């Protein structure tokens, strides 16, 4: 069951391997992008999807930790350090957004084409919001808020661990309460800017929540996956109890249901009203081969995980839960692909470019490398929380 | 996900007052029901509510005699008070289901002392809600036509209509809530049966207790049944108000057709429901001396839930306003502009005041710890949620796509009498409930007793009241 190699050695190897892979992958992508204008355009499309995919565990960690600071619960103390390491990647995500700001706006967003806007009264009406300058300013604003929140939470949490000061704890709660609301609002607008405005005529008021919930789900799955790897090593196998995985499994199930709820509500409302300004979005995503992707999403992003997670035993089994979490993480990328990619094809058929696969893997390697580096920087568990919870004693009894 | 017991960072007051044991909990709660003398305040309260319920009766008789024309409905406002009040009452019910089902599954032990009367409130609110659509069909005695049953009239309901989904959603909701409430009451009925002094009460509670003897086997089956029902009730918290939101959202009326409607309606329902639970709990704990059972912790936790759901509701308003502009659709922006500066501007801005501005006070711990201020905020929230439905229903309909058909709407005195009458009916049922049934679950409170003692020591932090 347990892995004999020390965890620190494994993590060190993983970090090096990740950075090497990231250098190779991103280097290859940039080279390929420079070869032809078509490739450049494709690069930005794939890169945007990779960016949105990896933004999720970084921002989602921030959101889940803030949520946990207010609700409590043993599950959150168990995965706290991993989430803190993940949210320390928010500045990295800001850095990764720079290429889009510099070169990506024109190839990606139709509203940035002056000739298109000139011929379109609706886009002219939106130009006050959808223009290069304001888009850039907003993006910088979102990242400032997120970086501030992530660093504050990490700093306050570290101070509490060191000093056990109630003042730090109270401050943590205040920042979390205000921060969670701010996060939901800013992430919603980020989703409108980066995702929804790819098809600038279309709008849906629930679109922001779709991203917020997706980020929460991705984070929980990511945390389970990391926890299951860490738990193979002594003494961490004693730190994680079955009940933690049970609770995390319940939370994953709740988020899977929320995702289905929000997705289905949007679909039903738009489908039944059948308005010409709204339905094209779904027509592009349910025809020309895209319906297969949609059905796969229904099956692997909702029905199958939901049915498996209904069972109590699967949630208490670390390996089974980790497998489901990994499957959902794959489905998360399929969803991002289904949300974003059809926008570039203007009703064309389903096609997958090699960059659509390589970009998320390369960005992911960089992300994982930075994550492992953050993880190694601080103790993996908070002994104070562990003592107070009686976790360390309890866990050794089973 | 235990909050009371399993959180080393817990700073709040405890869920049960100090110095209670199993006997004192039982005595305290049963004495409210079994006491011989009925307090005078109860008679006065019941009298007032019964008179208002009489107003309801008059309004219904008038309506049945003269027809729906006595209401203020017109063209284009075909949905008026009836829908507003229906949604308002249905929403209020949601807190009961959330407290009894979801908080039970999430092992939030603080729910224990408030779940019983919150569930009762749910059932009474659903009863009040049901009156409106039933009357709005015009011929309530034919309301069974809404059900899909084989008949010789070749009559079959329109399954694409969310109004029909409502029939199923609300009737399921009423049934499950009633079952859940009753099953939760069985062990307490047995306690009352054993403690009642007079014969008729002994017999009545005895029959309701279904032969409960408190045997280990009874408890085992009871726990299973209760958890299963909680599982069944959980989706209902979301589904009922989602379907209610579909009543609006699947149409194409600007201001109704928005994809954010389902989550924002559900949050609004929970928000208004908790406000109503607080509106009832705060006077009850003062009058019946239940401050040890419904502690500051309950009030503070409920205040936090009200704040959280309020933020979701405010998010919904913000999205509606932003997309009214962003959509680039002149009907959408016209609708939002009409709400803000049109003839119903007072309703819209009062709504913003009641539902967005004032509840922000709950961020402050001092406000959350002040019972009187909490009570006032909850009353304001109740008004705000009524205004929300008024704004949605009336402003969207009164200015439709053709300016020539625009018209104003106002409720007539019969509309108001019907609305106030249902508040009277609700109050009457609440007063009867607190006199004849244990308003706090006795056996569940008993389970808190040893924990409250252990919990205080283990948390290591000073208790703050």
Q: Looking at beta carbons, which residues of chain A come within 8 Å of B242?
A: 261, 265
Interface probe, candidates B5, B239, B297, B319, chain A, greatest A C-beta count within 10 A: B319
Supply angle C-alpha A352, A187, A307, rounded to 5: 60
Residue B410 structure tokens: 């106002």
Q: Cβ separation of A269 and B3 shorter than 8 Å?
A: no
Separation of alpha carbons A213 and A329, rounded Å: 13
According to the model, what pLDDT value does residue A161 have? Answer: 81
**Regions of chain B where pLDDT drops below 50:** 1-8, 453-465
Separation of alpha carbons A242 and A233, rounded Å: 16
Q: Cβ separation of B259 and A385 shorter than 8 Å?
A: no
Q: Does B200 touch chain A (CB under 8 A)?
A: no
Q: Is residue B454 a part of any domain in this protein?
A: no
Residue B373 structure tokens: 């201020």
Q: How many domains does one find in chain B?
A: 1
| Mean pLDDT of all residues in A194-223 | 95
Where does the pLDDT of residue A384 fall: very low under 50, low under 70, confident under 90, or very high at 90 and above?
low
According to the model, what pLDDT value does residue A398 have? Answer: 37
> Residues A106-116: pLDDT tens digits?
999 999 999 99
Q: Does B9 touch chain A (CB under 8 A)?
A: yes
Residue B165 structure tokens: 């989904």
List the single residue in A71, A261, A266 with the smallest CB-CB distance to B3.
A71
Q: Within 10 A of B350 (CB to CB), how many other CB atoms are there? A: 17
CA pseudo-torsion sign A382, A164, B16, B280: negative
Domain that holds residue B39: 22-149+253-446
Q: Is residue B140 a part of any domain in this protein?
A: yes
According to the model, what pLDDT value does residue B2 have? Answer: 35
Q: Cβ separation of A272 and B250 shorter than 8 Å?
A: yes
Q: Cβ separation of B9 and A72 shorter than 8 Å?
A: yes
Q: Looking at beta carbons, which residues of chain A come within 8 Å of B363?
A: 177-178
Q: Cβ separation of B251 and A206 shorter than 8 Å?
A: no
Q: Cβ separation of B249 and A269 shorter than 8 Å?
A: yes
Q: Looking at beta carbons, which residues of chain A come within 8 Å of B259?
A: 204-207, 265-266, 269-270
> Residues A21-39: pLDDT tens digits?
999 999 999 999 888 888 8
Listed by start position, the domains of chain A span: 7-397
Length of chain A: 398
DSSP string across A284-310:
HHSSTTHHHHHHHHIIIIIIHHHHHHH
Interface probe, candidates A205, A252, A272, A395, chain B, greatest B C-beta count within 10 A: A205
Q: Pseudo-torsion of CA B245, B251, B253, B254, nearest 10°?
A: 60
Q: Cβ separation of A203 and B246 shorter than 8 Å?
A: no
Q: Is residue B156 a part of any domain in this protein?
A: no
Q: Pseudo-torsion of CA B291, B296, B301, B306, nearest 10°?
A: 80
Q: Does B217 touch chain A (CB under 8 A)?
A: no
The pTM for the full model equals 0.90
Give the nearest chain B residue to A129 (CA atoms): B326
According to the model, what pLDDT value does residue A1 have? Answer: 47
Q: Is residue B389 a part of any domain in this protein?
A: yes
CA distance A261 to chain B (A): 9
| Mean pLDDT of all residues in A365-374 | 94
Q: Looking at beta carbons, which residues of chain B come within 8 Å of A71?
A: 1, 3
Q: Is residue B177 a part of any domain in this protein?
A: no
According to the model, what pLDDT value does residue A6 have? Answer: 78
Q: Is residue B228 a part of any domain in this protein?
A: no
> Residues A346-355: pLDDT tens digits?
657 888 999 9
ipTM of the complex model: 0.91
Where does the pLDDT of residue A377 fall: very low under 50, low under 70, confident under 90, or very high at 90 and above?
confident
Separation of alpha carbons B81 and B390, rounded Å: 8
In a 13 Å sphere around the CA of A19, the CA atoms on its Cβ side amount to 10
Q: Cβ separation of A209 and B363 shorter than 8 Å?
A: no
């Amino acid at each position: 069951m347990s892995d004999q190699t020390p965890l620190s050695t494994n993590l060190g190897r993983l970090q090096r391997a990740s950075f090497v892979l990231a250098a190779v992958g991103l280097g290859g992508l940039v080279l390929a992008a420079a070869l032809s204008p078509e490739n450049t355009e494709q690069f930005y499309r794939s890169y945007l999807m990779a960016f949105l995919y990896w933004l999720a565990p970084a921002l989602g960690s921030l959101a889940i930790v803030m949520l946990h600071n207010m609700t409590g619960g043993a599950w959150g103390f168990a995965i706290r350090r991993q989430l803190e390491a993940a949210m320390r990647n928010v500045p990295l995500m800001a850095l990764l957004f720079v290429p889009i700001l510099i070169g990506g706006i024109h190839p990606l967003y139709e509203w940035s084409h002056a000739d298109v806007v000139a011929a379109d009264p609706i886009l002219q009406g939106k130009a006050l919001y959808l223009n290069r300058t304001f888009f850039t300013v907003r993006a910088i604003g979102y990242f400032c808020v997120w970086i501030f929140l992530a660093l504050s939470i990490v700093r306050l949490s570290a101070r509490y661990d060191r000093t056990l000061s109630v003042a730090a704890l109270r401050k943590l709660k205040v920042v979390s309460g205000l921060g969670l609301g701010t996060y939901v609002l800013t992430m919603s607008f980020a989703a409108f800017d980066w995702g929804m405005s790819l098809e600038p005529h279309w709008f849906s008021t629930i679109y922001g929540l779709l991203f917020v919930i997706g980020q929460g789900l991705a984070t929980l799955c990511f945390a389970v996956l990391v926890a299951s790897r860490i738990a193979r090593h002594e003494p961490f196998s004693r730190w994680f109890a079955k009940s933690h995985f049970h609770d995390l499994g319940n939370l994953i199930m709740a988020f899977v249901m929320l995702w289905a709820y929000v997705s289905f509500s949007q679909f039903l409302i738009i489908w039944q009203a059948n308005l010409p300004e709204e339905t094209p979005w779904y027509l592009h995503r349910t025809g020309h081969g895209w319906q297969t992707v949609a059905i796969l999403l229904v099956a692997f992003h909702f029905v199958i995980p939901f049915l498996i997670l209904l069972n109590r035993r699967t949630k208490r089994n670390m390996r089974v839960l980790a497998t489901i979490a990994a499957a959902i993480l794959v489905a998360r990328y399929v969803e991002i692909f289904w949300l974003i990619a059809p926008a570039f094809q203007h009703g064309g058929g389903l096609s997958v470019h090699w960059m659509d696969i390589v970009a998320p893997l390369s960005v992911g390697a960089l992300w994982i490398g930075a994550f492992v580096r953050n993880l190694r920087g601080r103790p993996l568990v908070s002994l104070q929380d562990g003592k107070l919870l009686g976790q360390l004693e309890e866990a050794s009894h089973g | 996900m235990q909050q009371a017991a399993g959180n080393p960072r817990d700073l709040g007051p405890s869920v049960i007052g100090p110095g209670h044991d199993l006997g004192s909990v039982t005595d305290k709660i049963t004495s409210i029901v079994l006491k011989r003398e009925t307090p005078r305040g109860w008679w006065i309260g019941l009298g007032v509510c019964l008179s208002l319920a009489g107003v309801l009766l008059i309004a219904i008789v008038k309506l049945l005699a003269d027809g729906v024309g006595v209401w203020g409905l017109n063209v284009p406002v075909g949905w008026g008070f009836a829908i507003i009040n229906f949604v308002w009452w249905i929403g209020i019910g949601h807190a009961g289901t959330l407290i009894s089902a979801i908080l039970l599954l999430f092992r939030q032990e603080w729910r224990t002392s408030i779940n019983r009367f919150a569930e009762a409130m749910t059932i009474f609110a659903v009863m009040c809600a049901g009156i409106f659509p039933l009357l709005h069909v015009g011929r309530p005695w034919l309301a069974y036509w809404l059900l899909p049953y084989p008949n010789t009239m070749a009559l079959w309901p329109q399954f694409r209509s969310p109004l029909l989904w409502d029939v199923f959603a609300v009737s399921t909701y009423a049934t499950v809530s009633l079952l859940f409430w009753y099953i939760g009451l069985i062990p307490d009925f047995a306690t009352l049966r054993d403690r009642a002094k007079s014969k008729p009460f002994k017999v009545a509670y005895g029959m309701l207790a279904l032969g409960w003897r408190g045997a280990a086997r009874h408890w085992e089956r009871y726990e299973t049944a209760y958890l299963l029902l909680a599982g069944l009730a959980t989706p209902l918290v979301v589904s009922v108000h989602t379907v209610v939101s579909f009543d609006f959202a699947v149409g194409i009326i600007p201001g109704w057709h928005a994809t954010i409607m389902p989550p924002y309606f559900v949050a609004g329902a929970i928000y208004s429901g908790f406000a109503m639970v607080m509106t009832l709990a705060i006077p009850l704990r003062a009058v019946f001396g239940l401050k040890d059972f419904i502690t500051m912790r309950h009030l503070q936790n409920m205040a936090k839930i009200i704040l959280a759901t309020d933020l979701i509701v405010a998010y919904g308003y913000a999205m509606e306003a932003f997309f009214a502009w962003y959509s680039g659709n002149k009907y959408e922006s016209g609708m939002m502009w009409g709400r803000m500066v049109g003839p119903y501007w007072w309703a819209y801005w009062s709504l913003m005041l009641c539902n967005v501005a004032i509840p922000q006070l709950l961020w402050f711990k001092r406000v959350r710890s002040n019972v009187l201020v909490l009570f006032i905020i909850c009353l304001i929230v109740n008004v705000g949620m009524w205004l929300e439905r008024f704004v949605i229903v009336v402003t969207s309909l009164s200015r439709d796509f053709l300016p020539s058909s625009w018209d104003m709407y106002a409720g007539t005195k019969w509309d108001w009498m019907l609305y106030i009458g249902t508040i009277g009916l609700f109050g009457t049922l609440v007063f009867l409930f607190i006199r004849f049934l244990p308003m706090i679950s006795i056996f569940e409170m008993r389970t808190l007793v040893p924990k409250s003692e252990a919990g205080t020591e283990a948390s290591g932090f000073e208790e703050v009241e």
